[in-house]
Chain A
Amino acid sequence: MKEGFRQSMAWLHSWAGLLVGWILFAVFLTGTAAYLRPEISYWMRPELALSRPGPADAEVAVKAMQGMAPNSPTWFITLPSERETTTRVFWREGGGRGRGRGFREAVLDPATGHPVEARETMGGEFFYRFHFQLHYMSVLWGRWIVSICAMFMLVAIVSGIITHRRIFADFFTFRPGKGQRSWLDGHNVCAVLALPYHLMITYTGLVLFMLMVMPWGIDRAYPGGRQAFNAEAFGSAPPRPRANTPAPLAPVLPLVEEAQRRWEGGRVGRIVVANPGDANATIQLVRADSERISYNPQSLTFDGPTGALIQDSGEGRPAAEVRGWMYGLHIGRFAGPFLRGLFLLSGLAGTVMVATGCVLWAVKMRQQAAKKGRVGFGTRLVEHLNIAAIAGLPLAMAAFLWANRLLPVGMEERAAWEVHVFFIIWGLCFVHPLFRRGRQAWVEQFAAGAAAFALLPALNALVTQRHLLATLAEGDIVRAGFDLGLLACAALLGVLAWKVARHQPATARARRPAPKAALMPAEAAE
């Protein structure tokens, strides 16, 4: 009975993992890259100068918006921080037709308020968006697909834990160079090492879109719509209607100082101005994400013309705070450099866990096929997809950065083409294994990825002024660190290519005893 239970959990684990393994791998790897979203964006806009956030940023940004979008119903301003050296703004288009649907955005120089003169690029935003809504499909579809994959992941994790009776012993078990066993050990080490992280990131990922995928509670409890829910859950005040009487906006600097005083030195991260220029305008100051784990915005809302405080929303009720904590833990913006490094490593461990799981499946199938004497289509398909999804993605990510440096600066649809290049190269990685079987395809894609990353700093030196020597001399730690990080990626992929190239398949060395191979998934349970 016990044994049957564990075996069925092993079955569930391997199928739940395999079916969505390739998407999960991409989600994990690009999601891990998204921890460095501001740094990637900064590197991808070499025209930007090194600048530090200053006290006048808010004032400059509001002035700029008054010039650019005086008739807009709402402005959203994200102020620069230690990690982000530009002011990002977006606003709803006005035009007197009430709630316009169109949004416009711009990236501003924090000192002057003019749009920055930089190449058109999505920057790190691309990896960030891709990891939860994919690309080339509606945002809604992408989010549903990723949420479903996350649910599979949760099931795979839970059944994996049940399968691994020896969970702590497995942690100290690594038998390298033993073929399938080494893959299994590698998979176990990556899974167990960062298990709390994997559970956390998967569950919190589901919670981020929970009202989309599980709307039944909120729809039944709030038949009148979600505005009432938002007001009760997060204390968000209902928007004030436009008075249609013009009134100038109060200076924003004193409000920022007031916020800093109330938050005991806390920094303003975002400014939301509703109905600017109207007598019923409001200015909402939202505390920076980097200062609290919980993502529930701590915010102050002021009357636009007078600057009088209308609302101070601080800590929410328990469940709202728990959700805020989950949200905050997932996006990890509260983390300082050290903790962010740990998040990055844990994300990589998750990526490796998914990858070794997919490879393990193929290795197991291959061994069963060897006994039967023929390799089925399913095994070939899994092997093929493994190569393209696992070895191909890093190469495609490098290609994205290459495109950023090589596409002409004035090109039409430049940002979109950077993304197209990413998918073209990734697509080629799916074709390549048709011509180069098995190990050769792995080695070549890993090696190509290593070369692409290794040459990026050199390319960077050729086509921009922001090369490693210049950035190091200037003290631009972010750009210098990014170039060094690219070299580290190259080294990692190079090692993988080398390891795969000199790997001797277990079947070629000695025929292993058959019963062990047949019972593979249950082995972990012993």
Chain B
Amino acid sequence: MMRAGLPVPSAASLRARLPPGAELRRAGGIVLRILAGVGGGYAVAALSTTVLSLGLPMQRAEAVLTATMASFAVYAGAVVWAFAARNAWRACAGIAGTAALLVAVLYLLQGHLP
């Protein structure tokens, strides 16, 4: 049940029972998740906006509006993922993987653009 990096609300009461190194790992895990969620999440949202703006099969302005309006849902989803993943490394890997996928799609899209 207790895994390093999992933020637990009642941390203060549990802290006493953890071995000394675990406290540090727990804090580090939270920092990683915050970085993945806030920074990585914004990157994923920005990339998805760009990809959808260029790739959605509709008029250009419509695609931009649709993509940009949806971006906040993408961002919120990324943040939730960053804090829901089983451990901090999985959180980072998920965000980084999604970003890499989006970059690849963007590359392909731009290859096909006139």
Identify which of A11, A210, A368 contacts B8 (C-beta below 8 A).
A11
How many whole Å from A360's CB to the nearest CB in chain B? 12
Is A237 among interface residues, defined by CB-CB distance under 8 A? no
Contact yes or no, B62 A221, CB < 8 A? no
How many whole Å from A311's CB to the nearest CB in chain B? 17
Identify which of B12, B58, B69 contacts A210 (C-beta below 8 A).
B69
Is B65 among interface residues, defined by CB-CB distance under 8 A? yes
- Most chain B CB neighbours (cut-off 10 Å) among A203, A218, A232: A218
The bracket for how many chain B residues form the interface is: 35 or more
Contact with A along B67-82 (1 / 0, CB 8 A): 1110111011001100
Contact yes or no, B10 A518, CB < 8 A? yes
Binds A, one of B17-25, B46-54, B93-101: B46-54
Is A521 among interface residues, defined by CB-CB distance under 8 A? yes
- Most chain B CB neighbours (cut-off 10 Å) among A221, A222, A519: A221
Chain A residues with CB under 8 Å of B8's CB are: 7-8, 11
Chain A residues with CB under 8 Å of B92's CB are: none
Contact yes or no, B58 A216, CB < 8 A? no
Alpha-carbon separation in the docked complex, A148 to B74 (Å): 15
How many whole Å from A323's CB to the nearest CB in chain B? 5
Alpha-carbon separation in the docked complex, A1 to B86 (Å): 8
Contact yes or no, B50 A5, CB < 8 A? no
Q: State which residues 385-407 of A face B: CB under 8 Å.
A: none
Is B4 among interface residues, defined by CB-CB distance under 8 A? no
Contact yes or no, A5 B84, CB < 8 A? yes
How many whole Å from A411's CB to the nearest CB in chain B? 44
Is A513 among interface residues, defined by CB-CB distance under 8 A? no
Identify which of B1, B6, B53, B79 contacts A217 (C-beta below 8 A).
B53
How many whole Å from A195's CB to the nearest CB in chain B? 15
Contact yes or no, B79 A155, CB < 8 A? yes
Identify which of B7, B63, B84 contacts A221 (C-beta below 8 A).
B63
Which residue of B has the minimal Cβ distance to A320? B65
Chain B residues with CB under 8 Å of A326's CB are: 69
Is A10 among interface residues, defined by CB-CB distance under 8 A? yes
Contact yes or no, A216 B46, CB < 8 A? yes
Contact yes or no, B53 A319, CB < 8 A? no
Which residue of B has the minimal Cβ distance to A520? B9
Identify which of B65, B68, B75, B80 contacts A12 (C-beta below 8 A).
B80
Contact yes or no, A217 B83, CB < 8 A? no
Contact yes or no, A214 B49, CB < 8 A? yes
Alpha-carbon separation in the docked complex, A154 to B71 (Å): 12
Contact yes or no, A320 B61, CB < 8 A? yes
Chain B residues with CB under 8 Å of A322's CB are: 65-66, 69
Contact yes or no, A214 B9, CB < 8 A? no
Identify which of A11, A210, A323, A368 contacts B7 (C-beta below 8 A).
A11
Contact yes or no, B83 A519, CB < 8 A? no
With A11-B83, A320-B61 already in contact, the answer to whether A218 and B68 are too (CB < 8 A) is yes
Contact yes or no, A207 B69, CB < 8 A? yes
Chain B residues with CB under 8 Å of A521's CB are: 9
Which residue of A has the minimal Cβ distance to B58? A319
Alpha-carbon separation in the docked complex, A323 to B61 (Å): 12
Which residue of B has the minimal Cβ distance to A323? B65
Contact with B along A1-43 (1 / 0, CB 8 A): 1011101111110100000000000000000000000000000
Is B60 among interface residues, defined by CB-CB distance under 8 A? yes
Which residue of A has the minimal Cβ distance to B13? A518
Alpha-carbon separation in the docked complex, A210 to B49 (Å): 11
How many whole Å from B70's CB to the nearest CB in chain A? 10
Is B64 among interface residues, defined by CB-CB distance under 8 A? yes
Is B36 among interface residues, defined by CB-CB distance under 8 A? no
Contact yes or no, A320 B62, CB < 8 A? yes
Contact with B along A196-211 (1 / 0, CB 8 A): 0000000100110011
Which residue of A has the minimal Cβ distance to B73? A203
Identify which of A1, A3, A233, A519 contacts B10 (C-beta below 8 A).
A519
Which residue of B has the minimal Cβ distance to A318? B62
Contact yes or no, A210 B53, CB < 8 A? no
Chain A residues with CB under 8 Å of B53's CB are: 216-218, 220-221
- 7 smallest CB-CB distances across A and B, nearest first, come from A217-B53, A233-B61, A232-B61, A217-B49, A319-B65, A319-B62, A216-B46
The residues of B with any CB-CB pair to A shorter than 8 Å are 1, 3, 6-10, 12-13, 45-47, 49-50, 52-54, 58-69, 71-73, 75-76, 79-80, 83-84, 86
Can you give 23 contacting A-B residue pairs, CB < 8 Å? Answer: A1-B86, A7-B8, A8-B6, A9-B84, A12-B7, A12-B80, A12-B83, A158-B80, A162-B80, A207-B69, A214-B49, A216-B46, A217-B49, A217-B68, A218-B53, A218-B68, A221-B53, A233-B65, A318-B62, A319-B62, A319-B69, A368-B12, A519-B10
The residues of A with any CB-CB pair to B shorter than 8 Å are 1, 3-5, 7-12, 14, 151, 154-155, 158-159, 162, 203, 206-207, 210-211, 214, 216-218, 220-222, 229, 232-233, 317-320, 322-323, 326, 368, 372, 518-522
